Structure 1
Amino acid sequence: MEKPSRKAERTRNFIIEKTAAIFNKKGYAGTSLTDLTLATGLTKGSIYGNFENKEEVALAAFDYNYGNVNQVIRQQMLNAETYYDKLTVYTKVYDQLLANNFPEGGCPILNTSTEADDTHELLKDRAAKAILTWKKNMQQLIQAGVEAGEFKKQEDDSALAISIIALIEGGMMIARVTGDHNEMGKVMMTVEILLKQIKLT
């Protein structure tokens, strides 16, 4: 017989997987309890027997969507041979995610930041931490590239990293709101120009 703790974990994961796309598309405020019960086929009691409230489900859904994006990035990083290639993974992955609507609803950082900046402190904090982690990872790649003799020494790798992130997220926003994926491509070209400028060869 399955242990109660294992069953509860499976139920929690099921709820997260079934509701992640809804939160990513509709946002926290736009997602109702009815949306959650319809998506999962569970009752309100079953959902709130596994989560304290809708907020807890929304936070778990963000982590799930963000984790899926990071998994794609990590996989492609493994195949990148140079630090330049590793940095361009971000442009390629986000361009692909936009084209394939993955995760469903678009970039969870962009979606959550847009909705939660003035309305939901915990979701805002999750999105902010995701951006800061992304920035830190990019800075580490830039610094490693400098040490390996691949990149020029940077006066402010923090500024470069956050500028690239802003371009990627901004490009996604413009492409989605205009319905023109080509706009994302134009922005990605700008990111590639920035990266080529720091290469030594």
Structure 2
Amino acid sequence: MKKAERTKQFIIEKSAPVFNKKGVAGTSMNDIMEATQLAKGGVYRHFPSKEALSLEVFNYLSSLMHDAVTGVVREIPTAKGKLYGLLDFYDSRILSKWGGCAILNFGAEADDTNPVMKQKVSAAIHRFKNRIIKIIVDGQENGEFSKDFDAEQYAVKVFTMYEGAVLISKIENSPEYLHNTIAILKKEIEPYII
């Protein structure tokens, strides 16, 4: 990796927690300069605008999440185990490690104001849902889950309930809402286990 590429990656990594906590609108160039310890020109040399940097930051955060979840799920041999492992991962790591969910944090701002970010967030939502659907379908094919387990419906339920629980947990400064939601989602799997 060339020096310019390393510097660009450094800016993305140092800016990521700032954007994820403060949002795009709430993050100033001064915040980015403070996080990176670079002058404004040093940041602008690699990114033409704060918005361009925010797109790269979202890519970075969603890749981190995707890779971390993939690492957890890959190690579990059964579909049932993968589904529970996925839910456990979301329950235990999202609030502490990343300061919340990038899909929620970036998506809430981009829904009506930034069509490029909206498209990126939408793609991340589909990856999230499709992973759950694939686990359930694989479990149905190998006899772990009954055929009446509606993979699409459950994936939508997991995503929407999870995102709402993250939001409320952050607002109330308590992981209780997320923990309880994950417990509910786990319980809903039980009737479909063969």
Aligned length: 194
Aligned to 2:103: 109
- 1:9-38 CA distance string (max 9 Å, x none): 101001001100111011111111111112
3-state SS of paired residue (1:142)? helix
Question: Which residue identity does 1:123 align to in structure 2?
Answer: M
Aligned to 1:58: 54
**What pairs up with 1:122-161 in 2 under 5 angstroms?**
122-154=116-148, 156-161=150-155
Which whole-Å CA distance do the structure 1 matches of 2:188 and 2:28 have between them? Answer: 43
3-state SS of paired residue (2:59)? helix
TM-score (norm 2): 0.93
Aligned to 1:180: 174
Q: In 1, are the aligned partners of 2:73 and 2:86 still within 8 Å (CA)?
A: no
Aligned to 1:165: 159
Shift of residue 90 of structure 1? 2.3
Shift of residue 197 of structure 1? 2.0
Question: Which residue identity does 1:87 align to in structure 2?
Answer: L
Q: Any stretches of 5+ residues in structure 2 without a counterpart?
A: none
Which whole-Å CA distance do the structure 2 matches of 1:136 and 1:70 have between them? Answer: 12
Aligned to 1:121: 115
- 1:106-143 CA distance string (max 9 Å, x none): 11111112222122222222111111111111111111
Which whole-Å CA distance do the structure 2 matches of 1:140 and 1:40 have between them? Answer: 39
- Deviating more after overlay: 132-141 vs 112-121: 112-121
Structure 1 runs (4+) deviating above 6 angstroms are: none
Question: Which residue identity does 1:127 align to in structure 2?
Answer: V
3-state SS of paired residue (1:55)? helix
Aligned residues with identical type, % of pairs: 34
Q: Do structure 1's residue 191 and structure 2's residue 179 form an aligned pair?
A: no
